[in-house]
Structure 1
Amino acid sequence: MDREKVLAVINGKEVTGEDYNLFMESLNPQLRAYFSQDEINKEVVNELVYQGLLYQEAIEKGIDEDEDFQKVLNKTKETMLKTYALGKLLSTVSVTEDEVKEFFEEHKEELKQGESARASHILVEEEDKAKEIYEKIKNGEDFEALAREFSTCPSSEKGGDLGTFTKGQMVKEFEDAVFNNEEGHITEPVKTQFGYHIIKVVEKNDAKDAEFDEVKDKLEAQVRRLKEQDLYNNKINELKEKYTVDMKI
């Protein structure tokens, strides 16, 4: 909303679009989404008016001069100033593409994408049932059709297709059965904590180097965080030399 827009006037004090925007930003995402259905929500404006009325009475009664309020005000001001000063310091950090590329080259091995595979499976609870289904497959019955009919896994709706995954994403017994066999192989029943799986290895891919464009945005954020941390640490060390710190613990 236009921050200059006047929504109400309470005893000469304006309630503006800026007040409205600040109030909306303070809400949790669910409430914000609810109130954002209208360009200007009357309930929000009413709440701002109610708060404005409380403010007017507080001023009239001189509550803003209370000692306790002044303590809270000063502590709040101190906290806000710390946050603002930190934000102002970190806003000076910039990251160039050359810096991101240099970081990419230095960490290529860490960014290397591991072996991956694509597999389908049929999951059942009983070993005898798994063996029975396996025999059906050996006799030429369609794997995907049997998965839809018998598998207890939600993937049954897609003929047992689990999509592509990398090492470390599946339980060990399942993973070993996939990565130790060739594409097209259908395993005998494999027992895991979930039951008995008949696994079809659909596709296997070797580990490969990450492409710069694929990881650029993630690396840029990482480089920025590192530069911000360095700047922060350097500033703190500088200030330690400038001001006295007397630790009590």
Structure 2
Amino acid sequence: MTDQQLVAVVNGKEISRGDVLKFLNDMGPQVAMQFQSPEGIKRVIEEMVNQELLYLDAIDQNMNQEPEFKETLEATEKNLLKGYAFSKLVEGIDAQEEEMKEFFQENKAAFSQPETLKASHILVEEEDKAKEIIQELNDGLAFEEAAANYSSCPSKEAGGALGEFGRGQMVPEFEEAAFNMEIGTVSEPVKTQFGYHIIRVDAKNQADEPDFEEVKDQVQQQVLARKQEEKYQNKISGLKVKYPVEIY
């Protein structure tokens, strides 16, 4: 079966297999997956026929001559032309291997994975209460149970688990204590603006500095975006000279 094979004809308008495939592609892969069966293809063809009938009826009723339609058409055409003009402007821009490597060297920190850890905590108002809880933990009380029983933080519902976080995401006192602890250890009471924390470090992920090949695709995207933006801004600067602009 070729793409030109007809699947329907509506008032002389031919609908081919290729038209059906394009219709499916325009849906996007996730939606199109629902119509891959013979029954699904039949539904797509029926919908294409329905849309063609609706189009013919709209023409018969001169809807294309209505002022509201013309305004919508003009706005749509304008937006499409803007997008097309930008596509033509940046057409052919690519990222060379050397400039990608140079960009990577200059921006290594942006591609590095910072040190992170997973921790749980129990938050109480008084230091003495925190010390009592630590004693209970030392006597065998499970940390998760203690969090559920005593913590004032909503994380108590998850046994005190705070998930994974990096530096700069917690208050300084909490962060300093947590990042200096060993995995599986429980802290002494740590005072912050929120109260007293008993911290347990559950896991640590060391900082990772990837090599160029590991992040090459990301580097390429950023280099292309930077070059496209540069060309776009240069074009706009020239157009501002050509056409008068007033910004209020």
Q: TM-score, normalised by structure 2?
A: 0.69
* Partner SS for 1:165: strand
- Give the match's secondary structure for 1:51: helix
Q: Which residue of 1 aligns with 2:169?
A: 169
Report deviation, 1:229. 0.8
Q: Deviations over 1:81-136 (max 9, x none)?
A: 3322321332311112221110111223555554x253543436675764343113
RMSD: 4.0
Secondary structure in 2 matching 1:170: coil
Match of 2:243 among 227, 230, 245: 245
| Deviation string, structure 1 residues 22-54 (Cα, Å, up to 9, x no partner) | 655666998x26844646344443332222112
| C-alpha separation in 2, matches of 1:24 and 1:37 | 9
Equivalence map 1:1-249=2 (5 Å): 4=4, 6-17=6-17, 19-20=19-20, 23-24=23-24, 32=31, 35-36=34-35, 38=37, 40-61=40-61, 63-64=63-64, 66=65, 68=67, 72-109=72-109, 111=111, 113-114=113-114, 116-123=115-122, 130-139=130-139, 141=140, 146-152=142-148, 153=155, 156=159, 165-181=165-181, 185-190=185-190, 197-201=197-201, 209-239=209-239, 244-247=242-245
1:232 deviates by: 1.6
- For residues 230 and 135 of structure 1, do their structure 2 counterparts lie closer, same or farther at Cα, with a shift above 3 Å needed? same
Contact (CA 8 Å) 1:119, 1:201: kept in 2 or not?
yes
Q: Deviations over 1:151-204 (max 9, x none)?
A: 344654xxx776653202334442122134466652123466887642234666
How far the C-alpha of 1:213 sits from its partner, in A, is 3.4
Amino acid at match of 1:147: F
Aligned amino acid, residue 142 of structure 2: L
Inter-CA distance 169–75: structure 2 relative to 1 (3 Å threshold): closer
Mapped contact 2:120–2:202 kept (Cα < 8 A): no
**One-letter code of the match for 2:175?**
E
CA distance change for structure 1 residues 74 and 3 in 2, over 3 Å: closer, same or farther? Answer: farther
Structure 1 partner of 2:151 = none
Question: Partners of 2:74 and 2:18 in 1: how far apart?
Answer: 23
Name the amino acid aligned to 1:121. S
Identity between Structure 1 and Structure 2 (%): 41
Of 185-194 and 98-107, deviating more is 185-194
Per mean C-alpha deviation after superposition, the further-off stretch among 15-24 and 45-54 is 15-24
Contact 1:121 1:197 in 2 (8 A): no
Unaligned ranges ≥5, structure 1: none
Q: CA separation of 1:131/1:233 partners in 2, compared to 1, >3 Å: closer, same or farther?
A: same
TM-score, length basis structure 1: 0.69
Contact 1:117 1:178 in 2 (8 A): no
Q: Which moved more, 1:160-169 or 1:53-62?
A: 160-169
Gaps of 5+ in 2: 149-154
How many residue pairs are counted as aligned between the two chains? 236
